[in-house]
Amino acid sequence: MAASTAGPPSDRPGSHPDGLPEALPPPVRLPRRRGTELVLLAGAVLISVYGYVEVGLATDGTVPAGAAGYGAGLGLLALLAHVAVRLRAPYADPLLLPIAVLLNGLGLVMICLLYTSPADEAAPTQLIWSALGVGFFIAVVLFLRDHRVLQRYAYLSVAAALVLLIVPIFFPAINGAKIWIRVAGLSFQPGEFAKILLAVFFASYLAVNRHALAYTGRRIWKFQFPTGRVLGPILTIWLASVGVLVLERDLGTSLLFFGLFVVLLYVATGRTGWIAVGLLLAAAGAVTVGSLEPHVHSRVQDWLHPFASIDAGEGASQLAQTYFAFASGGVLGTGLGQGDSVLIGFAAKSDFILATAGEELGLTGLFAIFLLYTLLVERGLRAGLAQRNPFGRLLAVGLASIVALQVFVIAGGVMGLIPLTGMAMPFLAQGGSSVVTNWIIVALLIRMSDTARRPAPAPAAPEGPGEPGGPAGPGDPGGPGAFDAPGEARP
């Protein structure tokens, strides 16, 4: 019989030389960095106020009369958001909130410099929407104590998202797309809220079925296809995204929804083949609808021939004016308030806000703006990687991917990489629904980053297996289950 390898109590790891259990090390206390967040918020507000003053000096030669009120209002909103984070999410990432405030403040400055007439209420309206977005941010941070609660409402979320996507079909098209609801002079874009609900559903569904998608199914040559029960929802999402594109004539929303699902599918399974399948399906749907639907087809033609209207003697199109704005800005830009991007038309404040930034801030300013978006997405992905449960990881990655996909789709359309879409640049562009939903996304990311960075409670002193305070055995209710991956905590 082989001799037992177990030594005396003093030789076992984690035991005291006298045979008593060794005291557990104290939990690691991570710095909260709320002071860092407050300093960065002050800098974001000051930069925004400086931009507002610079616009007034460039256009009228005087400091705008509302500069103090604008600074006080933006500073108050930032302070209220900071207090909410300090109270309910003290371990949250300190960069998320300052980046959102700075982007929102720069967006307000861009909209103000495109102020065309005394009757133009775009800037005051956007400030009201921003205040409403911060209000939703504070509500999410204060009342959502655990993001895993959202997993219980996965199917309710997808049902609500489908309703929000279908309702605009029954309203008249605006600028060729049926994505708006206009009631009593107020416009509302429900698809902006649907993207958050769909992210919750996708994260919940893939968290449950990630193993089935990755390891089960039938293998054909080098590819492994999951069963029909698991593959069915994937094809349903593809058909729904194409249906949105056909019925609402909105290329951007379709690309966003389908891209979100493909990204989460890859993160959940780790299989690059899903990215190839997703790109093929998206390309097939876009080519088919782009050839058959007149509004989408016209956008594709404008993308392929942006200067055709000039050659025909009809003047420069919006896309051509955008290229002229980028060329006029050069490396350092013309300066705030000294550009001519207003020639783009009414969409200079919304779809083409990036052209305004490129002309007046130049290539250097565009790099700075893209760097802010990159930091925002990176911090969201970092919050996802640090989550202890698969739903939290997928939800954080999905929310960060929404921002990344929007920036890519909008910047790619304005810069001529892909056909132009009618989406709003996060925080920068005019659009009440967009700014509110982006503040909600930041609030959810802050909640999840706080959960990930918060130190775990000190474990109880170890006793015998199955005893109170001791490690749970395989058959105990708190022990590892068959569906728990190693290192993952069950919600």
Cα gap 175→179, rounded to integer Å: 10
Backbone phi, psi, residue 485, to 5°: -75, 155
Q: Look at 356 and 480; give whichever has higher pLDDT.
A: 356
Say what the pLDDT of residue 242 is: 64
Judged on CB neighbours under 10 Å (0-12, 13-18, 19+), 294 is exposed
Q: Look at 291 and 74; give whichever has higher pLDDT.
A: 74
At residue 15, does pLDDT exceed 60? no
How is residue 183 annotated by DSSP?
Answer: E
Q: Give the model's confidence band at 467: pLDDT under 50 very low, under 70 low, under 90 confident, else very high.
A: very low
Say what the pLDDT of residue 69 is: 84
Say what the pLDDT of residue 196 is: 93
Say what the pLDDT of residue 101 is: 95
Say what the pLDDT of residue 124 is: 76
Compute the C-alpha angle 416/420/421, nearest 5°: 150
Cα gap 320→306, rounded to integer Å: 6
Q: Look at 488 and 407; give whichever has higher pLDDT.
A: 407
At residue 253, does pLDDT exceed 80? no
Say what the pLDDT of residue 210 is: 81
Q: What is the DSSP string of 24-83?
A: PPPPP-----HHHHHHHHHHHHHHHHHHHHHHHHHHTSS--TTHHHHHHHHHHHHHHHHH
Q: Give the model's confidence band at 401: pLDDT under 50 very low, under 70 low, under 90 confident, else very high.
A: very high
Mean pLDDT across the stretch 474-488? 37
Q: Look at 475 and 84; give whichever has higher pLDDT.
A: 84
At residue 404, does pLDDT exceed 80? yes
Q: Is 139 helix (H, G, I), strand (E, B) or coil?
A: helix
Length in residues, the chain: 491
Look-up: residue for tokens 């002193």?
A: 461
Q: Lowest-pLDDT range, 129-133, 219-223, 406-410?
A: 219-223
Note the pLDDT tens digit of each residue in 32-60.
889 999 999 999 999 999 988 888 888 77
Reading the block at residue 284, the tokens are 């097939």
Say what the pLDDT of residue 368 is: 94
Say what the pLDDT of residue 429 is: 86
Asked if 250 contacts 421 with a C-beta cutoff of 8 angstroms, the reply is yes
Say what the pLDDT of residue 137 is: 96
Note the pLDDT tens digit of each residue in 80-128.
999 999 999 999 999 999 999 999 999 988 888 776 544 455 667 888 8
Return the sign of the alpha-carbon dihedral for residues 457, 458, 460, 462: positive
Say what the pLDDT of residue 171 is: 75
Strand-strand pairing, 218-220 and 223-225? antiparallel
At residue 484, does pLDDT exceed 50? no
Reading the block at residue 86, the tokens are 């300090």
CA dihedral 347, 351, 354, 356 (to 10 degrees): 0
Q: Give the model's confidence band at 437: pLDDT under 50 very low, under 70 low, under 90 confident, else very high.
A: very high
How is residue 170 annotated by DSSP?
Answer: G
Q: Look at 7 and 329; give whichever has higher pLDDT.
A: 329
Cα gap 77→131, rounded to integer Å: 7
Q: Look at 25 and 230; give whichever has higher pLDDT.
A: 230
Note the pLDDT tens digit of each residue in 152-167.
998 899 888 888 888 8
Cα gap 110→55, rounded to integer Å: 9
Say what the pLDDT of residue 473 is: 40
Average pLDDT, rounded, for the chain = 78
